[in-house]
Amino acid sequence: MAFFVRNLKKEECLGEKIKALRKHRNWTLREMSEATKIQRKYLEAFENGKYDILPEPIYAKNFLKKYISTLGGDPKYFISLFEENVRKCDLVSPHRLPAQRARALAFFSAHRLWKFLIGLVFVAALVSYLGWQITSLLAPPVITIFEPTDGIEVQDATITIKGTVNRESEIFVNNNKIIPDTDRNFSTKITLERGLNVITIEAKTRHSKMATVYRKIVLNQNPINLPGLSTPAP
């Protein structure tokens, strides 16, 4: 984003006034630097408005006071003009400001960036956690069948279904509701019919989809032969 600052009127320009005063006294920058013991780059910074080169404002004001006093000017007036110029530079990019303010702006920008990144990480973690919670809430329970084994053949017409679920659920075996124990284990007896039997075990929580497991059991009973009776020939 570009920044703009209105042009200062000629009478408001600190640098022009200092330069005019120095030339009126017939001093060069080198001579002023030797007389004031202030580095020439700081004197040039005052005259050219390069405030980013200047040291901390408290030192910059002392330099300016000594500079103007040596030139025979009014230090209070020039310091006031300097402060006004610095305030107007708030509208400019940080490299136009005194060192302290530039560093303050840089720190502020970095601080805001860190706060934004920390907030972003926090929001991402929160969204991930909520997503995981919702996914877990909607996921169907896991049914584990202890017995019988799928696909077995039996001769007894009654078989026991035993199993467990991984969380609190409603359990149904062949559409009959089964009440599990406190450890979420369940057990029920089923009467088989001769031949193939498909047993359906289902479980669901309040908000989840239904989980379904099947057990195929074959009842293979031999016919009972009573004394005095014979099996008719085919």
Burial of 202 (0-12, 13-18, 19+ CB in 10 A): buried
Position 4 pLDDT exceeds 60 = no
Q: What pLDDT is attached to residue 105?
A: 57
CB-based contact 21:71 (threshold 8 Å): yes
CB-based contact 68:78 (threshold 8 Å): yes
Over the stretch 107-165, which tens digit does the pLDDT of each residue have? 657 778 888 888 888 899 998 888 887 887 788 999 999 999 999 999 999 999 999 99
Mean pLDDT calculated for residue range 196-205: 94
Burial of 136 (0-12, 13-18, 19+ CB in 10 A): exposed
Over the stretch 72-113, which tens digit does the pLDDT of each residue have? 999 999 998 888 877 766 444 444 445 555 555 566 577 788
**pTM for the whole thing?**
0.43
In the chain, what percentage of residues exceed pLDDT 90?
47
- For the record, the structure tokens of 54 come out as 């200047």
- What mean pLDDT, rounded, does the chain reach? 82
- Three-class HEC string of the chain: CCCCCCCCCHHHCHHHHHHHHHHHCCCCHHHHHHHHCCCHHHHHHHHHCCHHHCCCHHHHHHHHHHHHHHHCCCHHHHHHHHHHHHHHHHHCCHHHCCHHHHHHHHHHHHHHHHHHHHHHHHHHHHHHHHHHHHHHHHCCCCEEEEECCCCEEECCCEEEEEEEECCCCEEEECCEEECCCCCCEEEEEEECCCEEEEEEEEEECCCCCCEEEEEEEEECCCCCCCCCCCCCCC
Q: What pLDDT is attached to residue 1?
A: 37
Over the stretch 201-210, which tens digit does the pLDDT of each residue have? 999 998 888 9
Q: What pLDDT is attached to residue 138?
A: 83
Q: Walk me through the domains of the chain, giving residue ranges and CATH numbers.
A: 10-105 (1.10.260.40), 143-219 (2.60.40.10)
Q: What pLDDT is attached to residue 44?
A: 92
Q: What pLDDT is attached to residue 228?
A: 54
Q: What pLDDT is attached to residue 104?
A: 58
Q: What pLDDT is attached to residue 5?
A: 39
Q: What pLDDT is attached to residue 49?
A: 84
Position 189 pLDDT exceeds 90 = yes
Backbone torsions φ then ψ of 129, nearest 5 degrees = -65, -45
